[in-house]
Amino acid sequence: METSRYPKSPGPRRRREVLKSAGAAIAATALPNLGFLRRSRAAEPVNIGALYPVTGNFAQIGQGCVNAAKLAVQMVNDAGGIKALGGAKLNLIISDVQSDPTVTRTETDRLIGSYKPSAIHGAFASALTLIASEVAERAKVPLITGSSTDQLNQGRHFTFTPFARASQFAKAQLQMAKLVSDTPKVAVVFENTAFGTSTSKGLREQAPDQGAEIVLFEPYSAGFTDAGPLVNKIKASGANMLFPVSYLNDLILIIRAIKQVRLDIAINGGSGGFVIPDFYKNVGSLAEGLLGVAHWNHDIDADAQKVNADYRTQYGGFLFEYAGGLVAQTFMIADALEQAASTDPEKVRDALAVLDVSEGYAAMCPGGRVKFGPDGKNIYAHPVGVQWQHADLATVFPKEDARAELIKA
């Protein structure tokens, strides 16, 4: 019998066995591809929200913050993204809150509802941040902020403040007053907002313990057009030092009016508008030698100086307090995402709550360490005293943080 060189066609039963074996082989070879697909899905971008006013009264600061936020996300992504999530890149969702409390509320709601961010940073202005924080708390989304009002550390669970608080700013200003005069007589003028009232309250409460006498304590309506009447009150008070608690536009008018009437008085401009490049651009040499306080400055450590150089290259001007601080905040969020290995906002919140960093960009702040207490406040945070020197801000106080010698007028 002739034997064929080709195998016989399998019968029905044999055919089923062959198909079953082939199916198993295909499934086995497909498993690595399924794993690849799972990894690809895990590497989808992670949304983080950025609430900043790029229009309205706070636009100068807000636009600088947006620029810094973009730089920070670029830094994280260029370094490999969130490795615990398969190298997922951060996706920055920017929302213009328009320097308006009502818009801040609606935009925070919209951002959370539409984009489901793992975390949010913003909005620096205390009046806006308090509202954004309320919305984020209800939605159980962590919000990390450079706002200084102490109210953010009361009754909140998802809000984190890595930098100095308003009460700490007040103490630093009063201590710096002793660098200028052994018997400081201080005039405090402040805008009637959350930022102004919380900071000025700390000044009044702490002045006696710091050996300073407050001879004028005067609120004013933010956004005024004539600083003359306010400056007349300062002059009549007999103060030898002025603490204006003001954002940029008001502060410019106050400084110009003081120089116009040739009032000889030392000035500590605090934070707010005093510590941004636009202040010097507007008042020029009138700023030289003026003091202030900040929760962050671009000369505090090598990492800050490197980020500052990158910011100058891309945007011009130095990296100011709020903008530099949110670069650090972005890396804190990135660290929390790494630890949580999840984009779930509540898990990210829990990772932030136990964050403890003392090196790298996340620790890039005065004190050099970030660890949040039960109230969401960094227990190591403290402000630094700064002075305008040669069109730049130099850290001059306290001694352990000083990067330049104090210039006395």
Tokens coding 71: 């730089």
DSSP state of 131: H
Q: How far is CA 210 from CA 171, 174, 205, 271, 301, in A?
A: 8, 6, 10, 19, 29
* Residue 27: predicted pLDDT: 42
Burial zone of 311 (CB within 10 Å; 0-12 exposed, 13-18 middle, 19+ buried):
buried
The rounded distance, in Å, linking the Cα atoms of 281 and 388 is 12
Q: What is the mean pLDDT of each run of 10 residues along the chain (409 residues)?
A: 36 45 42 46 86 93 96 98 97 98 98 98 94 98 95 96 91 92 94 82 92 96 93 96 91 95 93 88 94 96 97 94 96 98 98 97 96 98 96 95 90
* Residue 57: predicted pLDDT: 86
Contact 244, 267 (CB under 8 A): yes
* Residue 41: predicted pLDDT: 53
Which of 300, 309, 303, 310 lies closest to 381, judged by CA?
300
Contact 204, 174 (CB under 8 A): no
SS (H, E, C) 287-340: HCCCEEEECCCCCCCHHHHHHHHHHHHHHCCCCCHHHHHHHHHHHHHHHHHHHH
CA 329 to chain centre: 6
Tokens coding 332: 């804190």
Beta-bridged to residue 47, according to DSSP, are 91
* Residue 7: predicted pLDDT: 38
Give CA torsion, residues 44, 48, 53, 59, to 10 deg: -70
Q: What is the DSSP string of 38-49?
A: HHHHHTS-EEEE
The rounded distance, in Å, linking the Cα atoms of 353 and 356 is 9
Tokens coding 194: 């959350």
- The answer to whether the predicted template modeling score (pTM) of the entire model surpasses 0.75 is yes
Longest dimension (CA), the chain: 128
The rounded distance, in Å, linking the Cα atoms of 85 and 89 is 9
* Residue 32: predicted pLDDT: 47
Contact 143, 136 (CB under 8 A): yes
366-403 b/e with 16+ CB inside 10 Å = b? bbebbbbeebbbbebbbbbbbbbbeeebbbbbeeebbe
Give CA torsion, residues 221, 224, 226, 227, to 10 deg: 50
Which of 243, 236, 269, 263 lies closest to 187, judged by CA?
243
* Residue 166: predicted pLDDT: 84
The domains of the chain, with CATH numbers, are 46-164+299-378 (3.40.50.2300), 167-294+385-401 (3.40.50.2300)
* Residue 36: predicted pLDDT: 44
* Residue 10: predicted pLDDT: 46
Report which secondary-structure segment, H or E, holds 199: helix 194-206
CA 296 to chain centre: 9
Half-sphere exposure of 202 (CA within 13 A, CB side): 24
Which of 275, 278, 283 lies closest to 253, judged by CA?
283
Cis before 184 (ω within 30): no
